[in-house]
Structures are given as structure tokens and as C-alpha cells.
Amino acid sequence: KCAMNLDPILRPRTVAVIGASRSPRTIGHQVLANLIGHGFTGSVYPVNPHAPSVHSVKAYPSVAAIPDLVDLAVIVVPRQHVLNVAEECGQAGVRGLVVISAGFREIGGEGVEAERRLVEIVERHRMRMVGPNCMGVLNAHPDISMNATFAPTMPPFGQAAFVSQSGALGVSVLDYAAEYGIGFSQFVSVGNKPNVSGNDLLLQWEHDPD
């Protein structure tokens, strides 16, 4: 694994949503809506080759077309496109990936090989990756205010971090946290965790005052 810390994923200043969609029932729509609706303090770049804008924000046909250096790319494209998108991200200097797309090791067979190839791309370009097959990441600190998940709620800020492998459990916990006013600093759904694991997050959070 690359030794780089996880700040590009947990404290990004620029986020690209690759697979951002105009269709309200898609994850690519919800992730972009959450970043905008919960007041992410950095810049957001929707990537969609078939739409000039998504959520009234100018969209780009590829991550390479974005004029800014992207810290974090949230990938929500069909599995057959994930490897090409990850390679494009690496070539564009993206430092962190959150791969929400499913269809990798968890399905066995060809999914295992696809995940192996994805990890090879990530490590060759010295990126760090949360996922695949995850629900995203969240940083509730007011300086960041990033909800890069498809959960419908944003918890208040508090002095605890939460990591979950299960997306369904993660959504449920975030719902209860918002309902009861339980604060979180950061939330990470790790999914298949071939690159960023719970151990990596514990090492990151050990020195985080929040």
C-alpha cells in the first residue's frame, strides 16, 4: 500500500463525482445532491459526458477535462467502466478514490479479477481508495462539511468517528444519529476494503483531534 495519509479522501478541497446524474433515482444524483445540499466547503465537479450540467453545476466529460487538480474522485459508474475511470483518475493526478460501484469481489468469479486489477491501478498511481462496493465517506466538521455518501441524512458534528463495512448499517446509524442529535466527526463505509481498511482509518484517527 502507498503510505500516503488519507487527507485527500477525508479532507478534500476538490471533489469530482464521476457518474453524476440528472436522474433523481440514481446514486450519482444523490451523492452530488448531498455534497451541494449539505454545504461542502470545497469545489465540486460533476463528470457526465452526456450532460452539460448536473444540479445546475457545470459538468465535464471526463476527469481529465476538469481545470483544477482533484483531491477526491467519487466513482459511481457501472462496473464495466470503473477500471478505465480509475486509470483516468491516476493519470490526471487524483490522489483519493471512493468507489461506490459494486460488482467486484463480493460477487465472486470475474468480480475477483476486476477488483485485483482495480487495486493494481490504484497502487501503480499511488492513490488511496475507499471501496469498492461502499456507500461513501462523510466529514461533518464545519470547515469541511462533506457528505459524499448516498445516505439521505447528515449527522451533526461531534467528537466521534464511525467506520462500517455494511452500507445498510451505515445508513441506519446515520439516520439515528441525525434523529437523536448524536454527533460524528467522520464516517467511512469501507466496503470490500482492499486498499483502505479499518486499521488504516484507526491510524489516521489516532492523531486527529476531532
Tens digit of each residue's pLDDT (9 = 90 or more) over 172-207:
999 999 999 999 999 999 999 999 999 999 999 999
Q: Give Cβ neighbours of residue 67 (< 8 Å, ≥ 6 apart).
A: none
Cite the beta strand spans of 123-209 per DSSP E.
Answer: 128-130, 136-139, 146-149, 157-164, 184-189
Q: Give Cβ neighbours of residue 47 (< 8 Å, ≥ 6 apart).
A: 16, 17, 18, 19, 20, 59, 60, 61, 62, 63, 66
Q: Which three cell numbers stand for residue 51?
A: 450532460
Tens digit of pLDDT for each residue in 134-157?
A: 999 999 999 999 999 999 889 999
Quick one: angle between helices 110-124 and 79-91, nearest 10? 10
Q: Which three cell numbers stand for residue 180?
A: 437523536
**Average pLDDT score over the chain:** 95
pTM for the full model? 0.96
